[in-house]
A and B are shown apart, each in its own frame.
Chain A
Amino acid sequence: MSKLASITLGILTAIGGFLDIGELVTGSLTGARFGMSLAWVVVLGVAAIMLYADMSGRIAAITGRAVFDIVRERLGPRAGLVNLVASFLINFLTLAAEIGGVALALDLASDVSYLLWVPLVSLLAWVVIWRLPYQAMERVYGLMGLALIVFVVALVKLHPSWSGLWHGASHPTVPTGEGHPTWFYYAIALFGAAITPYEVFFFSSGAIEEGWTRKDLAESRANILVGFPLGGALTIAWMALAAVVLQPRGISVDHLGQAGLPVAFALGKVGVAFMLVGFFAATFGAAMEVTLSSGYILGQYLGWSWGKKLRPREAPRFYAVCLLVLFGATGLVLTTIDPVKLTEYAVVLSAVALPLTYFPILVVANDRTYLGDDVNSWWMNLLGTGFLVVIVVASAAAIPLMIATKAGL
């Protein structure tokens, strides 16, 4: 494969793989409730994950070491363990939410209860993790996820008032009837959805799985610089669809089916078919990434052999953790807990836990003993410090806001 083709494929995969249940739920929910007034959070979140992914990808490519390898070494066993437990719990909730999301997409396509789909989805996820090669897995679901470009097509087809949307996004004000705490609570949820911890665990461990070296950094940067913003643009289009079609009708989004109505409104059954394929790919791909991430971080903390590149008998503990986590999360969804509510909690808790992994990465990205001359440049540190402030404030405010607003009521 030529270099250009490989880069293009990587970018397309990054776009398709960018969205998951977190963006699908929070993007539409906030659009229906707050119009475009929270679009700036998506932009901020995408910028933050770009820097975070670049730093952890660079550390992985140059030192061959993934996030939790670094966390254990820099924070020691105690703080590292707190970090591990928090990340693991959030991963667990996120996985249940993603599995629920896949099942809900299948429910919408079939009118067969999502609870019946859940075991099948988990079984399929297990088979893919167990048998499908790493790159094939990533590419198949990333490329299928590109079907979500239907969001942009639908928005264009609706002929919205672009200047109105832009005005709403560029002059963010809290809509009448909504309180500031609720608005900020959902801002944090959107932010947490854009930078869910598993994405970085997966990105950094995946770089090691694919054997990246310094030579691959240019390609990785292309994925990040082009793929992530385009993924963010899909999220904003998704939000705009809700703002244009659902908000004027007073529809608040509590279900994935409601979120998809604007696509049906604009494009009819074909558009919905694309959307459902995209839902499936985005949430199923994410479910596998979260599952693998759980094995990655535990294996890294404890010094196991880990990785999907290794066969089950070469990394039995890694595969066992993946299996058990998948099993447990399946059980959680089968308790009939609402996957959409679960998603909301998972993304907010992601924001709470973010400083725990972001901070060590920012420190190591400046450490010459690890990176030599590839440490952060001054402007990266300027951005990185700015994001650190945002991340710490969001993390500290999340739980008080959750209590004050009764989780966004």
Chain B
Amino acid sequence: MTMPPTIDIGRALLDRLVTDVDGRPLGRVDDIELRTPEAGGPPVIEAILCGPMALGPRLGGRVGTWWLSVGRRLRPESNPEPVRIPLALVTELRPGEVRLSISRDDAGTLQLRDWVLDKLIAPLPGSGVAT
């Protein structure tokens, strides 16, 4: 990716751990969404993007395609778009961490987690999950 004017901001954000209001991880900054202002000038960051649908294109090649197809499986509902978290929800940038103002249950990045929990972990004895 080449974005000369914003590369530093991108570096400050990309691949950081995203945590929710309680500090619980909900994924990584797999990509960022940029918008070029109509009036011209450097692009601005609109949102951070999470999940395989965002990471796949950044990986590129066959691995990226495979990653994307995993992402589509996980989001069968309708739109195969990355999970989009508007920059306004970011409250704090720590070293290696991007803190949000929302709970991770509302972020929409935990489909795989929920699926694994329901299908694999909960049925095992002693999982601590009431079934």
Contact = CB atoms under 8 A, between A and B. Distances in A.
B34 interface: no
A320 B129 CA distance: 14
Contacts of A360: none
A302 interface: yes
A316 B15 contact: no
Nearest to B27: A303
A311 interface: yes
A58 interface: no
Contacts of B126: 130-131, 312
Interface in A70-88: 70, 72-73, 76-78, 80-81
B25 interface: yes
Contacts of A81: 59, 63
Contacts of B124: 130, 312
Interface string A294-313: 00000000111100000111
A317 B120 CA distance: 9
Contact of B121 (A63, A73, A320): A320
Interface in B1-29: 14-18, 24-28
Interface string A323-352: 100000000000000000000000000000
Interface residues of A, number: 27
B30 A316 contact: no
A313 B95 contact: no
A162 interface: no
Interface in A124-150: 130-131
A369 interface: yes
A50 B81 CA distance: 46
A78 B60 contact: yes
Contacts of A65: 96
A76 B15 contact: yes
A317 B116 contact: yes
Given A130-B124, A312-B126, A313-B121, 19 more contacts: A65-B96, A69-B17, A73-B96, A77-B58, A78-B58, A78-B59, A81-B59, A81-B63, A131-B126, A302-B28, A303-B27, A312-B121, A312-B129, A313-B127, A313-B129, A316-B116, A317-B116, A320-B116, A370-B96
In the A-B complex, the 3 residue pairs with the smallest Cβ-Cβ separation, listed nearest first, are A303-B28, A316-B117, A316-B121
